[in-house]
Structure 1
Amino acid sequence: MQNTDENDVLVSRLGNGCDLADVEEGKVYQGKVQGFATFGVFVQLNDRIKGLVHKSNIKAEHKERDSILVRVRQIRPNGNIDLEEVLIQVYQVQSIERKSTTVRISDLDDKVGRTVAIEGEVAQIKQTSGPTIFTVIDETGTQNAAAFVEAGVRAFPEVELENIVRIIGEVMMRNNQLQIEVDAITVLTGEDSDAVKLRIEKALDARSEPEEIPLLVKSEVMEKLRPEMRKVAKLIRKAVFTSQPIILRHHADADGICSAVAIEQAVVSLIRESGGDFDADYYLFKRAPSKAPFYEIEDITRDLDFSLKDHIRFGQKMPLVLLTDNGSTEEDEPSYKIASVYDIPFIVVDHHHPDATIDKYLLAHVNPYHVGGDFGITAGMLGTEVARLINPKVEPVIRHLPAVAGVGDRSEAPERALFLALVRDQYPEQACKDIALALDYEQFWLRFNDGREIIKDILNITGNTERHKKLVALLVEGANTMIEDQMSACMPHVVPRVLSNDAHLFLIDVEIHAHKFTFPPPGKTSGEVHDRLCRQNAGKPVVTIGFGPDFAVLRSRGVLMNIPRMVRELRVEIPGGGISGGGHLVVGSIKFVEGMRGVVLEALIKKIADAQVQLAVQ
């Protein structure tokens, strides 16, 4: 064809999803100059298809990547395409896209070897040393799609996290997992995007709804908490289904560990059931202990650091943060404020006395105080029920955790006995106490590490009962040896006082009369001292204060204190005291500046003397 100016000339442009079957002899296509040879010019019709314009059929001079119009002269049996350049002044471009049927991700299993289209939201963009991996979610599941330009180079740079896209590619098996080899990605906009997004959100909302299952035990308080527990479970399930990372922070004691591990088992199993990479449960879920029973600045700093790095390096969303056995008090507020700068969502499962200022930072908050209960309903009990709502399949391996949490946190609520009765055949009360002590002892040595596999063995999550029993026995022996050594050092230095309300107060300076930097730490040392004093003073109201240079740990039996309120009052009453702290009503801790220790302790003791006392304490 020679020069022409007909307005009705159609030039085809092949989409990247097209292959050789979409090319027709005699048609004119818009292409791009790829390279030169002595015998002609190579022209790309799309990223997958190229042909050759023999030098005798070149009509103009070109350089690499120039746009060029070519007619297909012949498609050879071996797939080679002979082209000739055409010069057209005026023409219309007609885009040709591969007519790939849009399928749901859940239907890809029987599409291996076929070219398909999927529509969904981009949940992660990970650049590897080879292809770019796009993780896409639709209303039915999660799928990885690999796009390759050249090694380590970002493919489809216009595609961003949370875009609604249409991906065309071939379904392949890679490392025994389904993967789409991407031919084309189109970012959907306007009505097309809105329709897909609405479809996904509607389906995910229904899919995230937890099953209706009964509680493990009859509990009026927990029954009242059921709607909020379902809300928490739904938020976690939706995070899993949308490949949003989850960070689970918990207090580093037996109760906090039981709560967190129960939820961990539910989340990890749900991640595995939902598809994605074989190691998705490691980079989409992280459990981390918090030393204090609240979310410290140190905690949020660590979590932000990891999350921002993963967001930049691996294209992950910012995480959903779940706090259990912490998160309810004003001590958590500074960390919440920092996290709010990055729009990080929080949910809390806790049994510490809640402060009214906290809920504005939370998507959901399970706390027994909200429905007339108290700290006797432990975080381990609550976390296990939430875990069952997240994934009921994990119940057999976690149903003993509330009993361990109950004895570990010295719960006096009726639910403790109910949970113990539920598992007494396999885990009698002494076995639960031993497991709780083993958890406290092992976590002390783990410091800030989660010890995921060791903790699972202590709790017998893995099902290797023989190893579980041997490990717990060794840890309990080690813990008891160190506790007795600590008590032999501490008990002779306990200072007794009888207060005006007939409460028996005992003080112990755990800084100078206890071994440092070893097990048990000051808080647990004070608790062990308190337990011995309660046995020695049966039937009497007992308060124990273990203190150091700038802190005091309180334990009470039979004296109806409100430690969070006392802390707030002391903060106002003692200017320059630097007072902070909190905890449960009768178990908690207070921090202050070292120079004001004497003033703070005496003011604290006066408040204890003003508290109501229960008679005939058992």
Structure 2
Amino acid sequence: MANTEDTVVYALGPNCGIEDVEEGKIYAGTVQGFANFGTFVQLSARLKGLVHKSNILQSHEEKDQIFVKIVNIRNNGNIDLAEMIPEVFRLETITRRAHVTKLGEIQSRVGRNVTFEAEVAQIKQTSGPTIFTLVDESGSGNAAAFVEAGVRAYPEVELGGVVCVSGEVMRRQNQLQIEVSSMEALTGDDAKTVHDRIEAALDARAEPEDVPLLVESDVLTQLQPQMKKVAKLIRRAVFEAQPIILRHHADADGICAAAAVEQAVISLMREEGDDLDTAYYLFKRSPSKAPFYEVEDITRDLDFALKDHERFGQKMPLIVLMDNGSTEEDLPSMKMAQVYDLSMIVVDHHHPDAIVDEYVIAHVNPYHVGGDFGVTAGMLGTEVARLINPKVSDLIRHLPAVAGVGDRSEAQERQRYLDLVADEYSEDACKDIALALDYEQFWLRFNDGRELVKDILNLKGNRALQTRYVSLLVEQANEAIEDQMAASMPHVTEEILPNGAHLFRIDVEIFAHRFTFPPPGKTSGEIHDRLCRQHPGEPVVTLGFGPDFAVLRSRGVLMNIPKMVRELREEINGGGISGGGHLVVGSIKFVEGMREAALAGLVEKIGLADVENRA
């Protein structure tokens, strides 16, 4: 009668070493490779041995399971094995709980073997090793695993999965990297335990400090909870190595808002150990021509994000909209983002449409707490940036003043921010910086001009260079403005509306230089400023128009441009009406053949608007 007593076969956990095995016992292993003299067998991530060819009982291929008995453990640590084929056996697992190192501690572990548990934030296949970007509760880091050149290591490990990794901490090109000796994809309760631990710790790390506002402001005080929420979401993205795309309106206010957040995010990434190349790879700032997130913008962003996701195993990005994102005009892009489950944040001061909040995870807007567009995006962005990383406060504290004068804010906050930096920047100096930003961005078109913007805003600490460069840009901008005004002002027409307001019209398509600075919107704004000075204390509306667009500027006429646009869209059949902006500053588009009807309807609504009493 055959002996049915179980043979015990031991399976070693990934952290088991030579101290966990004994001669004469049988172990489960994996065929690692072949040589003329025998077969190499991996017993654990840290342990392997050799089956001499005389002790091989059957043919094998790489990665086959094999059962082996330990014949001899030599003094030098080499292990001699013999293949076994047990008919009946009982499998027992030997595990060893290794000391788990945190990724935030690896700087002190160079040259040493470590084990850590983390989530996979990115998987990038190079022409050599596979690079895994890993995140735990303390930080992030890269782990390099090599099978053979260009071949994906550990294909069972997925983006977003939880792993246990062992390897040696090395310094490559001045960057720390773990050279992987083993990587195990955790599952079930093991994965959940690690995931929950990392989640809780990251959530706590992402919580912003309680940073006081730079100035007193009832509106900003009421917005602090939402600003902290936005800052926490952005900090969390940084800690999780999630890419961030920041889109902003391409004017001085939008640039100041975005530049402030850029400084905070990049500095936080560098504190996490990223070099500048990595930081700017994970953070992209892009201007949007219109004061809303256009379909062209989201299409471009999705294209790059999907390519990076497929090519580099990168997470899909968090999208942050600044000085845009609050209105119905943003919805087509938001719906496209929703298809790909992209999270979106809005920090804006345009009059908001409630439906937008169905598509965003956080929305900072002064109108939500009884404020208005006078609290500019640059003010909001700077306060958010200080919550993201308080260390940048001194570097960016002048940006709200530049944004306030650049956006012609009349809110109390404008003067308070100007007073804050009066020892360093006068109001005229802030106006010059804002004009320099507008002028430079016009020539940059859709490029971010990152380093040029830093110089204009003195974010590199070179005040002498800032002064020289801003002075030159302002000189060129003012020459261009004067040239434009000389061509345009003689062609301005005037009429008095039923509500007593002065309406001034100018066809900026045929009575202004095209394709140069200032563009139609700023040309209309410059004309409006001059006309307001000519009619102090009186209600003034300036209407600059072209074949298929109109730009509005108002002082003392209480319009609601987004509401007017929606009404005209319904009233003028075939007009192709769209547009928006602030309540009293904005633009409208229409089809060229319906220009007269669109302008007539617009002027009629302006004439019915209430007029502010400025006595």
TM normalised by structure 2 equals 0.95
Query: Please, which of 124, 128, 131 is the counterpart of residue 130 of structure 1?
Result: 128
Residues 225 and 99 of structure 1, relative CA distance in 2, 3 Å threshold: closer
Deviation of the 1:284 alpha carbon = 1.3
Deviation of the 1:26 alpha carbon = 3.4
Residues 145 and 582 of structure 1, relative CA distance in 2, 3 Å threshold: same
Maintained 8 Å contact 1:353/1:374: yes
* Alignment-derived partner of residue 51 in structure 2: 53
Maintained 8 Å contact 1:577/1:600: yes
* Alignment-derived partner of residue 147 in structure 2: 149
Residues 187 and 70 of structure 1, relative CA distance in 2, 3 Å threshold: closer
Deviations 1:13-41 (Å, cap 9, x if unpaired)?
Answer: 44554555555443333344555555444
Residues 380 and 23 of structure 1, relative CA distance in 2, 3 Å threshold: same
* Alignment-derived partner of residue 232 in structure 1: 230
* Alignment-derived partner of residue 168 in structure 1: 166
Deviation of the 1:146 alpha carbon = 1.6
* Alignment-derived partner of residue 275 in structure 1: 273
The amino acid of 2:158's aligned partner reads E
Query: Please, which of 41, 64, 81 is the counterpart of residue 61 of structure 2?
Result: 64
Query: Please, which of 351, 374, 387 is the counterpart of residue 376 of structure 1?
Result: 374
Maintained 8 Å contact 2:45/2:182: no
Query: Please, which of 457, 464, 467 is the counterpart of residue 466 of structure 1?
Result: 464
Q: Partners in 2 of 1:108 and 1:163 — Cα distance?
A: 21
Q: Partners in 2 of 1:389 and 1:136 — Cα distance?
A: 25
Structure 1 range deviating more: 119-128 or 277-286: 277-286
The amino acid of 2:419's aligned partner reads A
Alignment of 1:589-608 (within 5 A): 589-608=587-606
Residues 34 and 410 of structure 1, relative CA distance in 2, 3 Å threshold: closer
Q: Partners in 2 of 1:168 and 1:445 — Cα distance?
A: 51
The amino acid of 2:61's aligned partner reads E
Deviation of the 1:605 alpha carbon = 1.0
Maintained 8 Å contact 2:123/2:312: yes
Q: Percent identity?
A: 69
Residues 127 and 7 of structure 1, relative CA distance in 2, 3 Å threshold: farther
Q: Partners in 1 of 2:49 and 2:185 — Cα distance?
A: 28
Maintained 8 Å contact 2:120/2:134: yes
Q: Partners in 2 of 1:153 and 1:271 — Cα distance?
A: 30
Maintained 8 Å contact 1:100/1:115: no
User: Please, which runs of 5 or more residues in structure 1 have no aligned partner?
Assistant: none
User: How many equivalent residue pairs?
Assistant: 613
Deviations 1:181-231 (Å, cap 9, x if unpaired)?
Answer: 222222222222222222222222221111112111111111111111111
| Pairing 1:515–2:513 present | yes
Maintained 8 Å contact 1:272/1:280: no
Maintained 8 Å contact 1:33/1:62: no
Deviations 1:237-261 (Å, cap 9, x if unpaired)?
Answer: 1111111111110000000000000
* Alignment-derived partner of residue 612 in structure 2: 614
The amino acid of 1:186's aligned partner reads E
Deviation of the 1:276 alpha carbon = 4.4
SS in structure 2 at match of 1:143: strand
Deviations 1:80-105 (Å, cap 9, x if unpaired)?
Answer: 43333334322233344554212322
Residues 498 and 20 of structure 1, relative CA distance in 2, 3 Å threshold: same
* Alignment-derived partner of residue 352 in structure 1: 350
Q: Partners in 1 of 2:276 and 2:519 — Cα distance?
A: 39
User: Please, which runs of 5 or more residues in structure 2 have no aligned partner?
Assistant: none
| Pairing 1:334–2:332 present | yes
The amino acid of 1:562's aligned partner reads N
Residues 566 and 79 of structure 1, relative CA distance in 2, 3 Å threshold: same
The amino acid of 2:189's aligned partner reads E
Deviations 1:58-114 (Å, cap 9, x if unpaired)?
Answer: 4x3424335443333334445543333334322233344554212322233333333
Deviation of the 1:177 alpha carbon = 3.0
Maintained 8 Å contact 1:554/1:589: yes
Structure 1 range deviating more: 437-446 or 179-188: 179-188
| Pairing 1:297–2:307 present | no
| Pairing 1:504–2:502 present | yes
* Alignment-derived partner of residue 311 in structure 2: 313
Residues 122 and 55 of structure 1, relative CA distance in 2, 3 Å threshold: closer
Deviation of the 1:551 alpha carbon = 0.4
Deviation of the 1:233 alpha carbon = 0.9
Query: Please, which of 437, 444, 447 is the counterpart of residue 446 of structure 1?
Result: 444
Residues 567 and 55 of structure 1, relative CA distance in 2, 3 Å threshold: closer
Q: Partners in 1 of 2:36 and 2:444 — Cα distance?
A: 69
Maintained 8 Å contact 1:33/1:41: yes
Structure 1 range deviating more: 586-595 or 156-165: 156-165
Q: Partners in 2 of 1:426 and 1:530 — Cα distance?
A: 30
Structure 1 range deviating more: 240-249 or 401-410: 240-249
Q: Partners in 2 of 1:103 and 1:40 — Cα distance?
A: 36
Maintained 8 Å contact 2:456/2:466: yes
Maintained 8 Å contact 1:16/1:183: no
Q: Partners in 1 of 2:604 and 2:276 — Cα distance?
A: 59
Maintained 8 Å contact 2:325/2:348: yes
Residues 232 and 61 of structure 1, relative CA distance in 2, 3 Å threshold: closer
TM normalised by structure 1 equals 0.95
Residues 344 and 485 of structure 1, relative CA distance in 2, 3 Å threshold: same
* Alignment-derived partner of residue 454 in structure 2: 456
Maintained 8 Å contact 1:170/1:182: yes
Maintained 8 Å contact 1:100/1:168: no
Q: Partners in 2 of 1:486 and 1:414 — Cα distance?
A: 32
* Alignment-derived partner of residue 432 in structure 2: 434
Residues 37 and 162 of structure 1, relative CA distance in 2, 3 Å threshold: closer
Deviation of the 1:42 alpha carbon = 4.4
Q: Partners in 1 of 2:67 and 2:546 — Cα distance?
A: 84
* Alignment-derived partner of residue 255 in structure 1: 253
* Alignment-derived partner of residue 477 in structure 2: 479
* Alignment-derived partner of residue 577 in structure 1: 575
| Root mean square deviation of aligned Cα | 2.0
Maintained 8 Å contact 1:123/1:316: yes
Structure 1 range deviating more: 360-369 or 160-169: 160-169
Q: Partners in 2 of 1:418 and 1:36 — Cα distance?
A: 76
Residues 125 and 327 of structure 1, relative CA distance in 2, 3 Å threshold: same
Structure 1 range deviating more: 186-195 or 588-597: 186-195
Q: Partners in 2 of 1:54 and 1:349 — Cα distance?
A: 68
Q: Partners in 2 of 1:231 and 1:264 — Cα distance?
A: 17
Alignment of 1:91-240 (within 5 A): 91-97=89-95, 99-240=97-238
Query: Please, which of 17, 25, 28 is the counterpart of residue 27 of structure 1?
Result: 25
Deviations 1:448-469 (Å, cap 9, x if unpaired)?
Answer: 1101111000000000111111
The amino acid of 2:59's aligned partner reads H
Deviation of the 1:536 alpha carbon = 1.7
Deviations 1:337-385 (Å, cap 9, x if unpaired)?
Answer: 1111011111111110111211111111111111111111110011101
Q: Partners in 1 of 2:472 and 2:94 — Cα distance?
A: 70
Residues 150 and 459 of structure 1, relative CA distance in 2, 3 Å threshold: same
SS in structure 2 at match of 1:357: helix
Deviations 1:570-618 (Å, cap 9, x if unpaired)?
Answer: 111111111111111110001111111111111111111111223447x
Deviations 1:497-521 (Å, cap 9, x if unpaired)?
Answer: 1122221111000001111111111
Q: Partners in 2 of 1:425 and 1:110 — Cα distance?
A: 44
